[in-house]
Amino acid sequence: MTQTLRIDPEFKAQIPPLTQEERKQLEENILAEGALLAPILVWNGTIVDGHNRYEILQSHPEIPCSVRNLELETRDEVLVWICKHQLGRRNLTPEQKKFLVGKQYDAEKHDGFHGNQHTRPVPSADAQNEHQQTSEKTCERIARENHISASAVRRAALFAAGVDLAEELCPGIRQRVLSGDLKAPDALFERLTKARPEDYDALLEQIKNPQSRAKSAAKQKLVQTHRSALSNSSLAPPPGERKSVLEETTSIYGQLADAATIMQERWNTTFKQTPTLLTSSEQRKVVQAILDKHLAYLAALGFDLSGVMESKREQSA
């Protein structure tokens, strides 16, 4: 008979869910062995690691439930343990890793807290300074452990807080963001954490539709550029034709901008799914050959790419 364990929503939210194929394979492995290959880790009767195994056992009560208790004192210690354990996985998306780093930093800042806002004493100036120094050291250590900068850790904490708030406002959005299916700028999540409640809906709409926001801004810029060009008397059409020419040309510009955006999105998705395209020297040669053909096509149209390439080199220097 399966042992009854508690599931904490916050604990479970830190753990990237399995794909359907991964879950199916896990269930097949458990059934083949007739036992769990690894025990479910718990803290005070609450699952810390092994949510998927526990859910599978609910459908197969004949398989014994193996449990191991973790010797942790506080809830924040449990959250830190979960984040560190999950950060050791190799199949994390960039968003999942950033979220876990942010949650770990937030939990470690609060670790050791006793009491609440009504019972704890007001900290002295020395205590506040000591807390700030400890927080800074924590940030630097987490940065070193994950091979990122301290500022990236602080930004990750804002990102994680914004994602959690977005989940409260729109259940299900956290999974879309962390899986990489929904690509929204980090700045939107940071703004959400600092926004007033009356601004939540507008920011949430931008998070849910980042491409429409980006395309709208790009098209607006194209319209401004084209209007500037038409202000030149040598390029301006007759007054009666000016509006129709502007609309038609702007539509064409928009189509080109959309095509460029789609190409970039597909390349980013491909590189994300197959990172060896960027790390393997042989595969990079093939990618470079594809890029050379694209650049040759643009050059054949008469576009000067030297300024663009020089700007990229300066940015990477």
Residue 29, token pair as written in the block: 């492995």
Residue 245, token pair as written in the block: 């020419």
**Which residue has better confidence, 121 or 101?**
101
Q: Is the pLDDT of residue 237 over 90?
A: no
The answer to which of 96-105, 219-228, 265-274, 279-288 has the lowest mean pLDDT is 219-228
Cβ atoms within 10 Å of 99's Cβ, excluding its own: 29
The dihedral over CA atoms of 193, 97, 8, 66, expressed in degrees to the nearest 10, equals 180
Q: Up-side HSE of residue 225: CA atoms within 13 Å toward CB?
A: 10
- Specify the DSSP class assigned to residue 120: S
The span from the first CA to the last CA of the chain, in angstroms, equals 62
Q: Is the pLDDT of residue 75 over 90?
A: yes
**Which residue has better confidence, 180 or 269?**
180
The answer to which of 11-20, 84-93, 268-277, 300-309 has the lowest mean pLDDT is 300-309
Residue 268, token pair as written in the block: 């980013």
Reported as a single tens digit per residue, the pLDDT across 191-209 is 999 999 999 999 999 999 8
Q: Is the pLDDT of residue 305 over 70?
A: no
Determine the topology of domain 9-71 in CATH.
Answer: 3.90.1530
- Contact present, 101 and 111 (Cβ < 8 Å): no
Please tell me the distance from the alpha carbon of residue 97 to that of residue 16, in angstroms, as a whole number.
10
Taking each helix axis from N to C terminus, what angle separates 186-194 and 200-208, rounded to the nearest 10 degrees? 170
The β-bridge relationship of strands 40-43 and 67-69 is parallel
Q: Is the pLDDT of residue 309 over 70?
A: no
Report residue 2's pLDDT band, with 50, 70 and 90 as the boundaries: low
Please tell me the distance from the alpha carbon of residue 47 to that of residue 67, in angstroms, as a whole number.
9
**Which residue has better confidence, 85 or 274?**
85
- The average confidence (pLDDT) of the chain is 79
Q: Domain boundaries in the chain?
A: 9-71, 91-111+137-208, 211-270, 274-317
Report residue 251's pLDDT band, with 50, 70 and 90 as the boundaries: low
Please tell me the distance from the alpha carbon of residue 107 to that of residue 101, in angstroms, as a whole number.
10
Using alpha carbons, select from 134, 47, 40, 48 the residue that is nearest to residue 83: 48
Could you list the beta-strand ranges (E) of 32-185: 40-43, 46-49, 67-69
The answer to which of 3-12, 136-145, 172-181, 236-245 has the lowest mean pLDDT is 236-245
Reported as a single tens digit per residue, the pLDDT across 123-155 is 444 444 444 445 458 999 999 999 999 999 999
Q: Give the strands of the sheet with 40-43, arranged side by side.
A: 46-49, 40-43, 67-69
pLDDT at 180: 87
Please tell me the distance from the alpha carbon of residue 79 to that of residue 93, in angstroms, as a whole number.
19
Task: Write the secondary structure of 139-175 as one string of H (helix), E (strand) and C (coil).
Answer: HHHHHHHHCCCHHHHHHHHHHHHHHHHHHHHCCCHHH
pLDDT at 29: 93
pLDDT at 248: 59
